[in-house]
Structure 1
Amino acid sequence: MAKSNESSEDNDFDPYLVLNVSRNCGQDEIKNAYRKLCQTYHPDKHLSPDLKRKATEKFTVLNEAFEILSDPEKRRIYDEFGMEGIRAASNSLIKYEDIKARFQQSGHVGGSSYQRDNTFVVQNTAEVLVDATGIAVILEDLSEDEDYIVAPLVVSQLSLATRATVVLSRKDFVIFQYHIQSRRKASSHSLTITTRRQFSSNSYGEVSYIISSQRSLLEGVFSWKLWRRLSERSTGMIEGSYSPLQSQPLLAVTNTRQLSPNTSAQLTWTAGLAPGVLFAFQNTEDSRTATGSMKLGMLDTSVSFGYRRVVGQNGHWKARGRWSIRGWELEVGIGRDLFSYEAAWSVSVRVGLDGIILKCKAGRSGHQIQVPILVVAHPSPLTAIAASLVTSSLFALIQRGIIAPYQYRMDAKRKQKEREERLEKRMKEKNDALTALELMKPAIERCRSREESVSGGGLIIIRALYGASSEISKLSIDSTLENTEQVADVSDALQYFVEDSRLTLYATTKARLMGFWDPTIDSDEKKVLRIWYKFKNALHECEVDDFLPVELPLLSHRVGSS
């Protein structure tokens, strides 16, 4: 099999497009298309050494496309797995079933990859609480002659958590969670084993067993959960737990409802040792997310809120607060998501009765590390309010003065790089199109002569323009392209596809047809193909979106017809 595709991107190679046949065509159509193209691209059809070399390159691609589509087994593999499947089949003598099994295991289907649950996924979280109040003590004692040394930073608490998910099948999962926490000389451990069954897309169930130890005491807790979609906008969940050390089991019933496209609300009722009612809501619009909750219970009553807003390309700032009968806290911070690295980081300051804590967090691919730093212990209310105001102002200044300008410069560099790459690709595509037109020239001239000799007048392409819709809408049949950069004249290339006074282009981007190229600078620019042609000596005109099929001639295209 020819290896020319190894030097080109798989996405730029489509055997159906190379032969200009539909995906449901028969073997006779494939053979006829191949024979016609051979008359254009066979090296022996060209005498010039330069044209012979160019024809050889095109002919190699043509043979590769024909080899795939003329073999039913290879065609079946390509239709489902793309060129990756063809390469796998060429490396060894294996059948379609073997290719399918291999791609299902690797998560590739239909010629493109999709995110499939891995058979084993591990996520780790580490939290290190640092007591930095010793720095203040050192600063206060700098002027005094002290004989003892105070440690400026002390790790007062260490917490490690590991979560491992085992995928038994598409419906069955087993989840192991281990958590260890060490504070001063005391430590606690817990192990949770959860089995989950996905009954359908509308329901699932979980059963968990939690083993925890604290101060030499071992406790086992059994819990369960059932979730079901009740309607298009409503879901329900019931969960409970039981422990031999508890006087009675715990039970919770939750109903979640979508109030609007952007707002959802949740109502939870709990019974047992900690009875109460919880109401929560979430509203998401464009770049902001607001949340709030209110809990009324015998052991805990609280009110909380949260607000998160996206800033710049991937940055964000957030604020949240909580008040309860046990205390209060306020937290503000900034962060950034690095999607290209599957990573994120954030910095925030939390103020509450426990003190002023600086929180640093970083994560990547499901793993996370948190470092809360206790700056001031047990601050006065005035100090806490002042710290929150100063922190909010500082974060705002950092965002406006450092992060926003940096993001602007990085976005400008990224866009400039994309533009340069786009221009380079456009030039290469244009050169390839000109090469193809040079090889197609004899066939195009024969086609025009043949159509001109048809009794009553055949199908003659007078002019065809391909490119940006905004530019083509301003042009007419006689317009020049001297001051237009995003439009290409593809009249000759389109005439090549005319056969027996008919022209058929299948539903795909026209930029990848022989003799065509994409002249637009922005890849997201809407592209159209506008055609003026004569049929039976009458002028016709039509305009077709880039990915729509083309059928010529049609009576509705006739100029002046209703």
Structure 2
Amino acid sequence: MSFESVDERTQGLIEDDYYTLLNLDRNATPEEIRDAYKKASRIYHPDKHTDPVLKKQAEILFTKTKKAYEVLIDPHKRAIYDALGVKGLETEGWELVQRTKTPYEIREEFERLERERQERRLQQRANPRGNITIGINATDLFESYDDEYEEDDYIEEGGFSFPNLEISSMEIDQSLDAPLTTKDTLSLTGNLQNKNGIGGGAFATSLRHVSSPTSWSEYQFTAGHGPLFGIKWFRYLTKRSFCTITGLCHYKSGELTPGIEVVLYRHLDKNLEGFVTWKFGLESCVNTTVVWKNSKHAVISRIQFGIPNTFISMSYTRNLPFNDTKIKCGIKGGFFGAIVEYGWETRISQHSIAGTTMSIGTTSGVSCKLRLKRANQTYTFSILLSEIIIPSPIFYGTLVPIAAYFCAKSIVIDPYNEAEKEKELRKAKQENAVELIVRKREAEAAIALMSETYYRNVNSEKAKSGLIIEKAIYGSIKTISIILENPSEESSPSQLDGIHDVTIPTQCLVQNSNLILHSASKSNLPGFYDPCFGEDKGLLIRYKFKNDDHLIVINDDEKLKIPSQNHNVRSNF
């Protein structure tokens, strides 16, 4: 179950990281949260400053710090924040929700609340969806015929002939959702199909009415191949289970045929779901489906008993950690024989997904299915390569789509995506322009407020030959690399683009001759801001410990603990 859970107007906007703001690990204990808040309060509390300008700046930063503390110290708010970020805290309705404990349960509640919010908001626009499926018979590519007459004709025509490829079928589905009220939605669906020269079509309309947060009903009518009337009812039985009941009545050739379908769903465990489907009338069968899935793997097993569709199947999907890529394989066996399938799909742009599936069946032969999904439109090309199982169509059907994808990726897809990334970055910079200016001013104000703490910290560390931050620079990793190659540039980093001097705030984070920065973007640390939005960032720290010089450069989201003997400049040369 997935949907767009973030309002389009807030996508790409910068959010505060409450953990980083207090320099805390995400597993911080309540005691650590209180200590971090107390330390920040000693710097930002308005009563600590008498200068009117500094006092006003302190009020802003103290309010921000206090908000982070109040969220993290409250287990319920913290669970919401951990699962959903700031946007989850801003969702209406949490006060009516039982105080669940796990992020998983919080996310479930958020999805339900978000659906209700979207219904109340009611986007006054249609939601078109479409599918175009084309069947292609390409058996002439791999299956040769030993007919003597055809061979003579082939020779007389010059010894060369193009293989015969024919479009054997085509199907077009298009649907449209039209919200009428906050509780009623009208759907219109059209279908056209043609197979082996015989065509047909159907038109369907349905009205869905949401009667409560836990139930809805739908009334259906279909014209084409005889009128069909249906009523569908959905209801949550518990937080982990629901039921749908569909009643159908089909009139064709003077006969009235009723039908019924019942689906029961149960969330069995954290990663386990189960479905039981019973159909009678228009189609009679019993189907049991069990789904096990997590962030990386998914296994679906299904058993169905019916006439003539009795089968058992199992499929496995592996999510790879790049470009939303998935690899799939499965096997299905029944009265029709056995079918083995394998394939992959990957995201080729923000709104487009491409994939291919090879199917090898004892009675269906060898076929390759190419699919392109663009927004809400799906284009499918089902290519029959051979009516019998032979190696060549399996080999070429597997490798050719992969080779074609990588060629298209290097020539078309990657250049297009790079251009889109640049476009999105420019858009994000425009959307966040004001916020970036505000954060820069807050960082400068925080540094001004830290001056007293900074000098006290430095004097304390000098007295025991402890940890002294001589220079800390945050920002563009490219600029930091230039500074490392030309140390003279380090003396005037303000003249370089995309970096920010964070020596003072970094020293203020030192406690008992130790500095720990956690695995998160450093741009949310007190006194830090993002000076090169959209670029790769890093942090350079040159420090003294026990009067020895040390130097370290880390990536923006890398964890850091100093001092360390590995950073000693003398031992590295």
TM-score range, shorter chain: 0.5 to 0.7
C-alpha distance after superposition, 1:241-290 (max 9, x if no partner): xxxxxxxxxx24211245999875321123xxxxxx421135799x9998
Deviation at 1:550, TM superposition (A): 1.4
| TM-score normalised per structure 2 | 0.55
Deviation at 1:494, TM superposition (A): 0.9
User: Residue 228 of structure 1 aligns to which amino acid in structure 2?
Assistant: M
Deviation at 1:93, TM superposition (A): 8.9
- Residue pairs, 1:150-161, within 5 angstroms: 158-161=201-204
Q: In the alignment, which residue of structure 2 is the partner of 1:510?
A: 522
Deviation at 1:497, TM superposition (A): 0.5
Q: In the alignment, which residue of structure 2 is the partner of 1:96?
A: 100
- Residue pairs, 1:125-524, within 5 angstroms: 125-127=189-191, 158-161=201-204, 196-201=287-292, 202-205=299-302, 207=304, 223-229=309-315, 234-240=329-335, 251-257=336-342, 264-270=357-363, 277-281=364-368, 292-296=383-387, 416-452=426-462, 454-455=463-464, 457-476=465-484, 477-479=487-489, 480-521=492-533, 523=534
Q: In the alignment, which residue of structure 2 is the partner of 1:557?
A: 567
- Residue pairs, 1:98-137, within 5 angstroms: 103-107=107-111, 125-127=189-191
C-alpha distance after superposition, 1:450-472 (max 9, x if no partner): 222x23x2211111111222221
Cα gap change, 1:427/1:23 in structure 2, threshold over 3 Å: closer, same or farther? same
Deviation at 1:198, TM superposition (A): 2.3
User: Residue 280 of structure 1 aligns to which amino acid in structure 2?
Assistant: S
C-alpha distance after superposition, 1:291-337 (max 9, x if no partner): 6323539xxxxxxx999989999xx99xxxxxxxxxxxxxxxxxxxx
| TM-score normalised per structure 1 | 0.56
1:470 is paired with a residue of what secondary structure?
A: helix
Cα gap change, 1:192/1:426 in structure 2, threshold over 3 Å: closer, same or farther? farther
Cα gap change, 1:19/1:89 in structure 2, threshold over 3 Å: closer, same or farther? farther
User: Residue 223 of structure 1 aligns to which amino acid in structure 2?
Assistant: N
Conserved? CA contact 1:161–1:179, under 8 Å: no
Deviation at 1:12, TM superposition (A): 2.3
Q: In the alignment, which residue of structure 2 is the partner of 1:55?
A: 58
Deviation at 1:552, TM superposition (A): 1.1
Aligned equivalents of 2:32 and 2:418: distance in 1? 53
Cα gap change, 1:409/1:549 in structure 2, threshold over 3 Å: closer, same or farther? closer
Where does structure 1 lack aligned partners over 5 or more consecutive residues?
1-6, 114-119, 130-155, 210-220, 241-250, 271-276, 298-304, 318-403
1:12 is paired with a residue of what secondary structure?
A: coil
Deviation at 1:45, TM superposition (A): 1.1
- Residue pairs, 1:20-31, within 5 angstroms: 20-31=23-34
Deviation at 1:43, TM superposition (A): 0.5
Aligned equivalents of 1:93 and 1:52: distance in 2? 39
Aligned equivalents of 1:90 and 1:446: distance in 2? 44
User: Residue 468 of structure 2 aligns to which amino acid in structure 1?
Assistant: I
**Which has more radius of gyration?**
1
Conserved? CA contact 1:254–1:267, under 8 Å: yes
Deviation at 1:22, TM superposition (A): 2.1
Conserved? CA contact 1:77–1:96, under 8 Å: no
Deviation at 1:239, TM superposition (A): 4.1
Cα gap change, 1:78/1:443 in structure 2, threshold over 3 Å: closer, same or farther? same
User: Residue 17 of structure 1 aligns to which amino acid in structure 2?
Assistant: T
Cα gap change, 1:195/1:173 in structure 2, threshold over 3 Å: closer, same or farther? farther
Cα gap change, 1:56/1:415 in structure 2, threshold over 3 Å: closer, same or farther? closer
Aligned equivalents of 1:98 and 1:230: distance in 2? 28
Q: In the alignment, which residue of structure 2 is the partner of 1:538?
A: 548
Identity over aligned residues, as a percent?
23
Alpha-carbon RMSD: 5.4
Deviation at 1:510, TM superposition (A): 0.2
Count of residues paired in the alignment? 392
Cα gap change, 1:309/1:188 in structure 2, threshold over 3 Å: closer, same or farther? farther
Aligned equivalents of 1:551 and 1:545: distance in 2? 13
Conserved? CA contact 2:472–2:502, under 8 Å: yes
1:95 is paired with a residue of what secondary structure?
A: coil
| 34, 41, 44: which one aligns with 2:44 | 41
C-alpha distance after superposition, 1:200-236 (max 9, x if no partner): 4434326487xxxxxxxxxxx6533421148997521
User: Residue 495 of structure 1 aligns to which amino acid in structure 2?
Assistant: Q
Aligned equivalents of 2:545 and 2:419: distance in 1? 54
Cα gap change, 1:54/1:460 in structure 2, threshold over 3 Å: closer, same or farther? same
Aligned equivalents of 1:534 and 1:30: distance in 2? 29
User: Residue 256 of structure 1 aligns to which amino acid in structure 2?
Assistant: E
Aligned equivalents of 2:387 and 2:430: distance in 1? 59
User: Residue 447 of structure 1 aligns to which amino acid in structure 2?
Assistant: N
Question: Highest relative contact order (Cα 8 Å, sep 6+), 1 or 2?
Answer: 2
Aligned equivalents of 2:538 and 2:482: distance in 1? 13
Cα gap change, 1:258/1:460 in structure 2, threshold over 3 Å: closer, same or farther? same
